[in-house]
Amino acid sequence: MMPARPNPWPIALASGVLPEFSPVATVEAAAAAGFDGVGLWFEAADWTAATTRAVRAALAATGMPALDIEVVWLKPGADDPEHFRLLDVGAELGARNVLTVSSDPDRGATVAKFARLCEHAAPLGLRVSLEFMMFTEVRTIDDALDVLARAAQPNAGLLLDPIHLSRSGGTPADIARVAPALLGYAQFCDAPAQAPPRDDTAAILEEAIDGRLLPGDGALPLGDFLDRLPAGLPLSIELRSKALREGYPDAVDRARALATATRAYLAGR
């Protein structure tokens, strides 16, 4: 038997894996499970200065770097001050990336708001990474690249997720059109071969929240996806799964099951 190859991709626990747990519990679970980093969920209504202090202490105690903080969800209307507070908190916690999506149907408004986020984030050392999903207004990789090109910000990024790439009609070959400088990290998961209809937004959203699979348990072209990414790019293991939540009600057990399965896939591919 050939020995397993070393894993060249650092892996982080995405905050969406543990939606019912606090940011501190997420940090601690990521550390206990052996992840290389962690993602943080910012709930504006609940997040206080005390939350920042507690999360910063947990990151320091565990040695976990914060790969990203989420989510800036752009919507119609004026800029949301909480979005800029999220950026400031992310900087305080040492996060490298800010996950951003848009439900504003006005593409020009999305571009302008995204650019203002980048301008606020630049002196904080943050990359603002735009994710495309079929249940938002930035639906495809082409939509996202258009926003990034028009915003023209040096700290703008594109966040790739294999499930959203596939469900929006894209393939790993499309990654060749992305400048490597736009990729600060990527998300990672698997999904069934049978995709929801592309015009069934509710079904696509339900799959994204409840129906993802462990790497290797589905049919997404994950090997090709990885081969198109820059070497050593961090992977946020974004595995929102009803089965995983129900099968592993304990935060550490869930994180450990995910880390074990992901590392096994990456080492054996």
Q: Which residues contact 53 (CB under 8 A, 6 or more apart)?
A: none
Architecture, CATH, for domain 11-268: Alpha-Beta Barrel (3.20)
158-to-20, 198, 237 alpha-carbon distances in Å: 27, 22, 16
* Nearest-angstrom CA–CA distance, 135 and 139: 7
Tell me the average pLDDT across 95-112.
98
Do residues 77 and 105 lie in contact, with contact meaning Cβ atoms separated by under 8 Å? Answer: no
Residue 269: its pLDDT value, please? 76
CA atoms within 13 A on the CB side of 182: 21
Contact 82, 44 (CB under 8 A): yes
Q: How is residue 145 written in tokens?
A: 């690249």
pLDDT digits (tens, 9 = 90+) for 30-82: 999 999 999 999 999 999 999 999 999 999 999 999 999 999 999 999 999 99
Mean pLDDT of the chain: 96
The pairing of strands 11-13 and 186-188 is: unpaired
Round to whole Å and give the CA distance between 240 and 7.
23
Q: How confident is the model at residue 8 (pLDDT cuts 50, 70, 90)?
A: confident
Which amino acid does the sequence have at 184?
A: G
Confidence (pTM): 0.95
What is the distance between the alpha carbons of residues 147 and 109, in angstroms, rounded to a whole number? Answer: 10
| Helices (runs of H) and strands (runs of E) counted in the chain | 10, 8
* Nearest to 197, CA basis, from 168, 172, 170, 225: 168
The answer to whether 68 and 40 have CB atoms below 8 angstroms apart is yes
Taking the CA atoms of residue 144, residue 148, residue 154 and residue 160 in that order, the dihedral angle to the nearest 10 degrees is 10
H helix intervals, 138-182: 141-151, 162-167
pLDDT digits (tens, 9 = 90+) for 249-259: 999 999 999 99
Q: What DSSP string describes 80-148?
A: PHHHHHHHHHHHHTT--EEEEEE--S-HHHHHHHHHHHHHHHGGGT-EEEEE--TTSSS-SHHHHHHHH
Q: How confident is the model at residue 1 (pLDDT cuts 50, 70, 90)?
A: very low
* Mean pLDDT, rounded, for 2-30: 86
What pLDDT, on the 0 to 100 scale, is given for residue 7? 61
Residue 126: pLDDT over 90? yes
Kindly tell me if the per-residue pLDDT of 118 is higher than 70. yes
Asked if pLDDT for residue 6 goes beyond 80, the answer is no
Is the pLDDT at 3 greater than 60, yes or no? no
Which DSSP category does 240 fall into?
A: -
Tens digits of residue pLDDT in 132-191: 999 999 999 999 999 999 999 999 999 999 999 999 999 999 999 999 999 999 999 999
Mean pLDDT of 15-36: 98
Beta carbons within 10 angstroms of residue 243's beta carbon: 12
Contact 205, 139 (CB under 8 A): no
Structure tokens at 6: 């070393």
**CA–CA separation, 214 and 217 (whole Å):** 5
CB atoms inside a 10 Å sphere around CB 105: 11
Distance CA 212, CA 32 (A): 23
Left (φ > 0), alpha (ψ -120 to 50) or beta: where does 158 sit?
Answer: beta
